[in-house]
Amino acid sequence: MAGRKAHKIATLGSHSALQILKGAKDEGFLTICVVNTMRLSLYRRFKFIDKIIEIPSFSSFGSIEDQLIRENAIIIPHGSFVAYLGIEVNKKMNVAYFGNKAVLDWESDRKLQRKWMQIANISVPKRFKKGEKIDRPVIVKSYGAAGGQGYFFAKNQKELTFRLKSFKPKKFIVQEYVIGVPLYIHYFYSSITNTLEILSIDKRYETNVDSLGRIPSQNQQGLGIEPSFVVVGNSPLVLRESLLGEAFNMGEKVVATSKNIIKGGIWGPFCLETIITPEQKFSIIEISCRIVAGTNLFINGSPYSSLYWNKEVSTGRRIAMEIKEAIKKGKLNKILS
Ligand code: ATP
């Protein structure tokens, strides 16, 4: 590896850290895991982690940043970065950071996300304005909820008005409930080679909505069961091949649009959270502009990643491959921010 001191790959011990660091090691990088004391024993178990930097809690991240800079580390952000450190800490990080920080503002704001998809001409569920009468089933989502916690479903206006009376969150959205299969497509866009790959796909397992069919509807009557959307796990999925072309089209539109609306555009991993209707149309409920937890199913690669690479390539490893390629071509600055 080029440079005065070889670059190392570092991340926070959480979310998809094992996948990221294993992938980096497989690509020949030295790896660093920043862990809080509580998780130390977990991350010590893995030989592909060369160095562990312990901090009392993730909020002390700032105190070890200089050490990471001295190590010539490149930070790979994942889902816990914004959740535990907050957007501002991410934006102000001085250590080399893989991905475009300018995307963070768009990702964290549901309205901006929607604007991005609409400019890209990608279908999104109808959103009802505050107080607007609904004419179809809806899902009510509070802001800042994670993993579907605290969402509720209302089949008509009467039910919505009733439920909203006892709904505590002040900021929420009322969105058309799209009936279909939720499917999460894991993309990787290389700004070095200008290519888009679909690396894997997953489906979430949510309680209780995914298990309601286990009790026949006549037995549910009178029980007052409400659907909830709390994520408990992920399962792998391959898409019907005739739908794959549209999945690529959507990813390409997202990337192309990002170049027009966000300085530098998006690069690296991102995920479109979709629902496919019986008409086989995708509706996009969310975009995550980073590695998502569903990719952890594919530490050994996936049916899709093996179509591009003759080795086991996870999203974590793909990131390391991109960094290696950028170093080789003298374009590292192009993929850091
Ligand atoms: P995360 O940040 O972990 O992705 P989240 O809290 O932002 O989760 P969403 O991804 O918006 O939540 O939604 C959680 C779940 O709620 C989805 O997986 C899906 O099952 C259901 N859901 C969300 N929006 C809709 C919709 N418009 N129609 C039908 N189901 C929906």
120-129 pLDDT, tens per residue? 999 999 999 9
User: Which pTM value belongs to this model?
Assistant: 0.94
pLDDT band at 3 (very low <50, low <70, confident <90, very high): very low
Give the CATH number of domain 106-123+179-218+231-313; options: 3.60.70.12, 3.40.1390.10, 3.30.470.20, 3.40.50.1000. Answer: 3.30.470.20
Is the model more confident about 4 or about 60?
60
Q: What is the pLDDT of residue 145?
A: 63
Domain ranges of the chain: 8-97, 106-123+179-218+231-313, 128-176
Q: Is the pLDDT of residue 6 over 50?
A: yes
Answer whether 294 contacts ligand 1 (Cβ < 6 A): no
What is the mean predicted confidence (pLDDT) over 82-90?
92
Range of lowest pLDDT (92-106, 194-208, 220-234)? 220-234
pLDDT band at 130 (very low <50, low <70, confident <90, very high): confident
Kindly report the protein residue whose alpha carbon is nearest to atom 13 of ligand 1. Answer: 148
Strand bridging mode 229-236 / 51-55: unpaired
Ligand 1 mean position, distance from CA 96 (Å): 32
Q: What is the pLDDT of residue 146?
A: 65
CA 43 from chain centre, in angstroms, equals 22
Answer whether 146 contacts ligand 1 (Cβ < 6 A): yes
Task: Locate 278 and state its tokens.
Answer: 């019986």
Task: Locate 116 and state its tokens.
Answer: 């991005």
Quick one: which H or E segment has residue 308?
helix 305-308
Q: What is the pLDDT of residue 147?
A: 64
pLDDT digit string, tens, across residues 30-60? 999 999 999 999 999 999 999 999 999 999 9
8 Å CB contact between 101 and 90: yes
Helix runs in 148-240, H state only: 157-165, 217-220
What is the mean predicted confidence (pLDDT) over 114-143?
94
Please provide the CATH number assigned to the domain covering 8-97.
3.40.50.20
Handedness of CA 265, 181, 174, 294 (dihedral sign): negative
Q: Is the pLDDT of residue 1 over 80?
A: no
CA 80 from chain centre, in angstroms, equals 10
Q: Is the pLDDT of residue 88 over 80?
A: yes
Q: Considering only CA atoms, which of 328, 249, 329, 233 is closest in space to residue 282?
A: 249
- Give the mutation target among 80, 151, 184, 276 for probing the ligand 1 site: most ligand atoms within 8 A of CB: 151
Ligand 1 mean position, distance from CA 280 (Å): 19
Kindly report the protein residue whose alpha carbon is nearest to atom 31 of ligand 1. Answer: 177
Q: Considering only CA atoms, which of 12, 8, 18 is closest in space to residue 317?
A: 18
Range of lowest pLDDT (82-86, 140-144, 240-244, 333-337)? 140-144
Answer whether 229 contacts ligand 1 (Cβ < 6 A): yes
Q: Is the pLDDT of residue 151 over 80?
A: yes
Distance of alpha carbon 173 from alpha carbon 13, whole angstroms: 32
pLDDT digit string, tens, across residues 304-336? 999 999 999 999 999 999 999 999 999 999 999
Q: What is the pLDDT of residue 235?
A: 95
Q: Is the pLDDT of residue 2 over 60?
A: no
Count other Cβ atoms within 10 Å, centred on residue 231.
16
